[in-house]
């Protein structure tokens, strides 16, 4: 089941199409950049003044560990490469950019992340929490947004459109890889590739169930006795078959996952960038 609106679904479909489209499409207007430097992937999205995605790129990377940058030079080079790819595709110039970090990692991590974008030639207009960025795409007024990334699970509880509080725990898709690797006696890299195969996920489900339980327990602890009306899952790790159903059964809280969950947060960062830079009409 999916709790995302038609507007959310359309926006993510547009972004997925923009990522897949191979041809160059010159664009002369302002471009607002959202860059998500994750544990498993770096994702860059370019949006127009109306918040519509123009282009994007997803690249596997290992420059972050548990939400913190561990390879600064590698991150800078990755962002430069992605930005250059999109510049060539759109024939556009560099302009305002934002990134996001896991909740609770602002001290130091936010400045390092901003430095990476600046080193890539971008004008940084802000750094926000990952779940808060996701909320801009999902349009959630009440509920909990849970960003299950490669290395961390970030949670934001929202009431009447405002973020009440956010926090982050060091558990995510990388822990899936570790338990799969240990169970089958293979490398973590092989485990990661095995995990991505839809045909294998039914067989892997019992193996990674303990990690799902840990993620669910993190959620319940973060709610502090105040059960949200619904849970909205985003991030690449939550795309694993059966994950949203497990969270619902564990918590008893209606749980939803949008199409293309990996793209929600980077799209939200681009929207936040457009707003921070004074864009007049945001359509999402």
pLDDT tens-digit series, residues 249-280: 999 999 999 989 999 999 999 999 998 877 65
Tell me if domain 6-134+263-276 and domain 139-261 are identical in fold: yes
What confidence tens digit (pLDDT) does each residue in 134-153 have?
A: 989 998 888 999 988 888 88
Chosen CATH of 139-261 out of 3.30.420.40, 3.30.450.20, 3.50.50.60, 1.10.260.40: 3.30.420.40
Report for 93-107, 160-174, 261-275: range of highest mean pLDDT? 261-275
> pTM for this structure?
0.88
Q: Distance of CA 66 to CAs 26, 52, 111, 184, Å?
A: 37, 30, 17, 24
- DSSP one-letter string for 168-202: EES-SHHHHHHHHHHHHT--HHHHHHHHH-HHHHH
- Domain limits of the chain? 6-134+263-276, 139-261
CATH superfamily of 6-134+263-276: ATPase, nucleotide binding domain (3.30.420.40)
Say how far residue 138 (Cα) sits from the centre of its chain.
Answer: 12
Q: Taking a C-beta distance cutoff of 8 angstroms, is the pair 53, 94 a contact? A: no
């Amino acid at each position: 089941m999916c709790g995302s609106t038609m507007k959310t679904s359309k926006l993510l479909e547009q972004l997925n199409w923009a990522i897949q489209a191979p041809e160059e499409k010159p664009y002369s207007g302002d471009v607002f950049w959202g860059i998500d430097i994750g544990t498993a992937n770096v994702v860059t999205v370019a949006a127009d003044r109306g918040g519509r995605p123009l282009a994007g790129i997803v690249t596997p990377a290992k420059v972050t560990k548990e939400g913190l940058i561990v390879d600064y030079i590698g991150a800078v080079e990755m962002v430069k490469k992605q930005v250059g790819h999109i510049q060539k595709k759109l024939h556009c110039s560099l302009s305002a950019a934002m990134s996001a970090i896991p909740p609770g990692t602002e001290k130091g991590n936010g400045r390092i992340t901003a430095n990476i974008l600046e080193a890539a030639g971008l004008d940084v207009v802000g750094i926000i929490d990952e779940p808060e960025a996701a909320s801009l795409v999902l349009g959630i007024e009440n509920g909990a947004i849970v960003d299950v990334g490669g290395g961390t699970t970030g949670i934001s509880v929202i009431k009447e459109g405002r973020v009440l509080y956010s926090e982050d725990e060091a558990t995510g898709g990388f822990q899936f890889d570790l338990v799969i690797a240990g169970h089958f006696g293979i490398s973590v890299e092989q485990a990661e590739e095995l995990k991505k195969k839809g045909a294998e996920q039914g067989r892997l489900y019992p193996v990674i169930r303990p990690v799902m339980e840990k993620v669910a327990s993190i959620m319940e602890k973060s709610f502090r006795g105040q059960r949200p009306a619904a849970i909205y899952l985003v991030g690449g790790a939550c795309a694993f078959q059966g994950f949203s159903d497990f969270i619902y059964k564990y918590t008893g809280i209606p749980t939803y996952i949008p199409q293309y969950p990996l793209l929600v947060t980077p799209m939200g960062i681009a929207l936040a960038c457009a707003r921070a830079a004074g864009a007049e009409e945001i359509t999402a």
